[in-house]
Structure 1
Protein backbone atom coordinates (compact mmCIF):
# COMPACT_ATOMS: atom_id res chain seq x y z
CA UNK A 1 0.00 0.00 0.00
CA UNK A 2 2.81 2.42 0.82
CA UNK A 3 4.40 1.71 -2.55
CA UNK A 4 1.22 2.82 -4.33
CA UNK A 5 1.04 6.04 -2.28
CA UNK A 6 4.66 6.81 -3.11
CA UNK A 7 4.03 6.21 -6.81
CA UNK A 8 1.00 8.48 -6.81
CA UNK A 9 2.78 11.25 -4.94
CA UNK A 10 5.84 10.81 -7.17
CA UNK A 11 3.58 10.99 -10.20
CA UNK A 12 1.91 14.10 -8.79
CA UNK A 13 5.31 15.67 -8.14
CA UNK A 14 6.39 14.95 -11.71
CA UNK A 15 3.19 16.54 -13.00
CA UNK A 16 3.77 19.64 -10.87
CA UNK A 17 7.31 19.91 -12.18
CA UNK A 18 6.04 19.51 -15.76
CA UNK A 19 3.52 22.32 -15.18
CA UNK A 20 6.20 24.55 -13.66
CA UNK A 21 8.56 23.96 -16.59
CA UNK A 22 5.76 24.61 -19.09
CA UNK A 23 4.81 27.82 -17.31
CA UNK A 24 8.39 29.08 -17.31
CA UNK A 25 8.74 28.21 -21.00
CA UNK A 26 5.59 30.22 -21.81
CA UNK A 27 6.26 33.38 -19.83
CA UNK A 28 10.02 33.75 -19.43
CA UNK A 29 10.66 35.41 -22.81
CA UNK A 30 7.71 37.79 -22.50
CA UNK A 31 8.66 38.68 -18.94
CA UNK A 32 12.27 39.44 -19.86
CA UNK A 33 11.25 41.70 -22.74
CA UNK A 34 8.62 43.35 -20.57
CA UNK A 35 7.24 46.66 -21.65
CA UNK A 36 8.52 50.19 -22.06
CA UNK A 37 9.46 50.23 -18.37
CA UNK A 38 11.85 47.30 -18.78
CA UNK A 39 11.65 43.63 -17.83
CA UNK A 40 8.71 42.51 -15.73
CA UNK A 41 10.92 39.94 -14.00
CA UNK A 42 14.71 39.95 -14.44
CA UNK A 43 16.91 37.12 -15.68
CA UNK A 44 18.12 36.50 -12.12
CA UNK A 45 14.57 35.56 -11.10
CA UNK A 46 14.21 33.00 -13.90
CA UNK A 47 17.70 31.60 -13.31
CA UNK A 48 16.83 31.11 -9.63
CA UNK A 49 13.58 29.30 -10.51
CA UNK A 50 15.29 27.01 -13.01
CA UNK A 51 18.23 26.32 -10.70
CA UNK A 52 15.82 25.41 -7.89
CA UNK A 53 14.22 22.82 -10.16
CA UNK A 54 17.60 21.28 -10.97
CA UNK A 55 18.68 21.37 -7.33
CA UNK A 56 15.52 19.53 -6.26
CA UNK A 57 17.04 16.35 -7.69
CA UNK A 58 13.59 15.15 -8.75
CA UNK A 59 13.81 15.83 -12.48
CA UNK A 60 13.48 13.07 -15.03
CA UNK A 61 16.00 13.09 -17.87
CA UNK A 62 13.42 14.69 -20.18
CA UNK A 63 12.63 17.39 -17.61
CA UNK A 64 16.33 18.02 -17.06
CA UNK A 65 16.81 18.44 -20.82
CA UNK A 66 13.98 20.97 -20.96
CA UNK A 67 15.33 22.96 -17.99
CA UNK A 68 18.79 22.92 -19.58
CA UNK A 69 17.27 24.23 -22.81
CA UNK A 70 15.48 26.99 -20.88
CA UNK A 71 18.73 27.97 -19.16
CA UNK A 72 20.42 28.26 -22.57
CA UNK A 73 17.51 30.37 -23.84
CA UNK A 74 17.80 32.55 -20.74
CA UNK A 75 21.51 33.12 -21.39
CA UNK A 76 20.76 34.06 -24.98
CA UNK A 77 17.88 36.39 -24.07
CA UNK A 78 19.85 38.07 -21.28
CA UNK A 79 22.78 38.75 -23.59
CA UNK A 80 20.72 39.94 -26.58
CA UNK A 81 20.53 43.72 -26.88
CA UNK A 82 17.10 45.23 -26.52
CA UNK A 83 15.28 46.31 -29.68
CA UNK A 84 15.78 49.95 -30.67
CA UNK A 85 12.42 51.12 -29.32
CA UNK A 86 13.12 49.58 -25.91
CA UNK A 87 16.66 50.92 -25.50
CA UNK A 88 15.50 54.51 -25.44
CA UNK A 89 12.51 54.03 -23.18
CA UNK A 90 12.61 56.00 -19.95
CA UNK A 91 14.03 54.20 -16.94
CA UNK A 92 11.27 52.93 -14.65
CA UNK A 93 12.65 54.95 -11.71
CA UNK A 94 12.84 58.28 -13.52
CA UNK A 95 9.93 60.61 -13.08
CA UNK A 96 8.36 62.24 -16.10
CA UNK A 97 8.49 66.02 -15.80
CA UNK A 98 6.67 68.21 -18.31
CA UNK A 99 9.01 70.64 -20.11
CA UNK A 100 7.52 73.72 -18.41
CA UNK A 101 8.01 72.32 -14.90
CA UNK A 102 11.59 71.27 -15.70
CA UNK A 103 12.42 74.79 -16.95
CA UNK A 104 10.95 76.37 -13.81
CA UNK A 105 12.93 74.01 -11.57
CA UNK A 106 16.20 74.89 -13.34
CA UNK A 107 15.62 78.65 -13.10
CA UNK A 108 14.71 78.53 -9.39
Structure 2
Protein backbone atom coordinates (compact mmCIF):
# COMPACT_ATOMS: atom_id res chain seq x y z
CA UNK A 1 0.00 0.00 0.00
CA UNK A 2 1.27 3.48 -0.83
CA UNK A 3 2.01 5.23 2.47
CA UNK A 4 1.17 8.63 0.99
CA UNK A 5 -2.47 7.57 0.72
CA UNK A 6 -2.81 6.45 4.31
CA UNK A 7 -4.53 8.95 6.60
CA UNK A 8 -3.79 8.00 10.19
CA UNK A 9 -5.93 9.72 12.78
CA UNK A 10 -4.41 13.06 13.70
CA UNK A 11 -2.43 13.45 10.47
CA UNK A 12 -2.69 16.71 8.52
CA UNK A 13 -4.40 14.83 5.66
CA UNK A 14 -7.00 13.36 8.06
CA UNK A 15 -7.71 16.84 9.44
CA UNK A 16 -8.21 18.22 5.92
CA UNK A 17 -10.59 15.38 5.11
CA UNK A 18 -12.49 16.01 8.34
CA UNK A 19 -12.78 19.70 7.41
CA UNK A 20 -13.99 18.82 3.90
CA UNK A 21 -16.61 16.43 5.30
CA UNK A 22 -17.78 19.07 7.79
CA UNK A 23 -18.01 21.68 5.02
CA UNK A 24 -20.07 19.40 2.79
CA UNK A 25 -22.33 18.53 5.72
CA UNK A 26 -22.97 22.25 6.35
CA UNK A 27 -23.63 23.42 2.81
CA UNK A 28 -24.94 20.47 0.80
CA UNK A 29 -28.55 20.69 2.00
CA UNK A 30 -28.69 24.47 1.60
CA UNK A 31 -27.17 24.26 -1.87
CA UNK A 32 -29.63 21.59 -3.00
CA UNK A 33 -32.56 23.47 -1.49
CA UNK A 34 -31.52 26.56 -3.47
CA UNK A 35 -34.10 29.18 -4.18
CA UNK A 36 -37.01 29.68 -6.55
CA UNK A 37 -34.61 29.13 -9.45
CA UNK A 38 -33.79 25.64 -8.21
CA UNK A 39 -30.68 24.14 -6.65
CA UNK A 40 -27.55 26.27 -6.44
CA UNK A 41 -25.40 23.20 -7.09
CA UNK A 42 -26.86 19.92 -8.39
CA UNK A 43 -26.76 16.58 -6.58
CA UNK A 44 -24.24 15.30 -9.13
CA UNK A 45 -21.74 17.93 -7.91
CA UNK A 46 -22.05 16.77 -4.30
CA UNK A 47 -21.90 13.10 -5.26
CA UNK A 48 -18.69 13.80 -7.19
CA UNK A 49 -17.11 15.56 -4.18
CA UNK A 50 -18.09 12.76 -1.80
CA UNK A 51 -16.78 10.14 -4.25
CA UNK A 52 -13.49 12.04 -4.49
CA UNK A 53 -13.16 11.81 -0.71
CA UNK A 54 -13.71 8.07 -0.87
CA UNK A 55 -10.98 7.84 -3.52
CA UNK A 56 -8.41 9.61 -1.32
CA UNK A 57 -7.28 6.38 0.23
CA UNK A 58 -7.51 4.87 3.65
CA UNK A 59 -10.12 6.73 5.69
CA UNK A 60 -10.96 6.30 9.33
CA UNK A 61 -14.13 4.50 10.37
CA UNK A 62 -15.79 7.74 11.53
CA UNK A 63 -14.93 9.43 8.22
CA UNK A 64 -16.38 6.55 6.21
CA UNK A 65 -19.55 6.59 8.33
CA UNK A 66 -20.01 10.34 7.86
CA UNK A 67 -19.45 10.14 4.08
CA UNK A 68 -21.92 7.25 3.89
CA UNK A 69 -24.42 9.28 5.88
CA UNK A 70 -23.98 12.24 3.55
CA UNK A 71 -24.50 10.02 0.50
CA UNK A 72 -27.73 8.70 2.03
CA UNK A 73 -28.86 12.25 2.80
CA UNK A 74 -28.07 13.24 -0.76
CA UNK A 75 -30.16 10.38 -2.11
CA UNK A 76 -33.03 11.36 0.19
CA UNK A 77 -32.82 15.04 -0.82
CA UNK A 78 -32.87 14.06 -4.49
CA UNK A 79 -35.99 11.95 -4.16
CA UNK A 80 -38.02 13.98 -1.64
CA UNK A 81 -39.82 17.25 -2.43
CA UNK A 82 -38.42 20.16 -0.47
CA UNK A 83 -41.28 21.24 1.81
CA UNK A 84 -42.55 24.63 0.76
CA UNK A 85 -41.02 24.21 -2.70
CA UNK A 86 -43.44 21.35 -3.32
CA UNK A 87 -46.26 23.92 -3.36
CA UNK A 88 -44.72 25.45 -6.48
CA UNK A 89 -44.40 22.22 -8.43
CA UNK A 90 -47.39 20.96 -10.39
CA UNK A 91 -48.98 17.79 -8.98
CA UNK A 92 -48.29 14.55 -10.77
CA UNK A 93 -51.36 13.14 -12.50
CA UNK A 94 -51.11 9.76 -10.75
CA UNK A 95 -50.93 11.34 -7.30
CA UNK A 96 -53.84 13.66 -8.06
CA UNK A 97 -55.98 10.69 -9.09
CA UNK A 98 -55.01 8.75 -5.97
CA UNK A 99 -55.82 11.64 -3.64
CA UNK A 100 -59.30 12.01 -5.20
CA UNK A 101 -59.97 8.31 -4.63
CA UNK A 102 -58.93 8.46 -0.98
CA UNK A 103 -61.44 11.23 -0.13
TM-score by length of 2: 0.71
Once residues 86 and 21 of structure 1 are traced to their aligned partners in structure 2, the CA distance between those partners, rounded to angstroms, is 32
Q: Distance in 1 between matches of 2:28 and 2:88?
A: 17
Q: Which runs of 5+ in 2 are unaligned?
A: 1-6, 91-103
For 2:52 and 2:46, the matched residues in 1 are separated by 10
8 Å Cα contact 1:33-1:39 kept in structure 2: yes
Counterpart of 1:41 in structure 2 is 41
Alignment correspondent of 1:23: 23
- The 1:47/1:19 distance shift into structure 2, 3 A limit, reads same
- Aligned residue in 1 for 2:95: none
Which residue in the other structure is 1:74 paired with? 74
Distance in 2 separating the partners of 1:80 and 1:20: 25
Provide the aligned C-alpha RMSD in A: 2.3
Q: Larger % of helix: which?
A: 1
Rg larger in structure: 1
**Stretches of structure 1 lacking an aligned partner (at least 5 in a row):** 1-6, 89-108
Change (3 A) 1:76 1:28: same
The count of residues paired between Structure 1 and Structure 2 equals 82
**In structure 2, what is the Cα distance between the partners aligned to 1:65 and 1:48?**
17
Output one character per residue of 1:68-88: Cα deviation in whole Å (capped at 9) or x when no partner. 000000000001124334437
Residues 1-108 of structure 1 mapped to structure 2, 5 A cutoff = 11-82=11-82, 83-87=85-89
Normalised by the size of structure 1, how large is the TM-score? 0.68
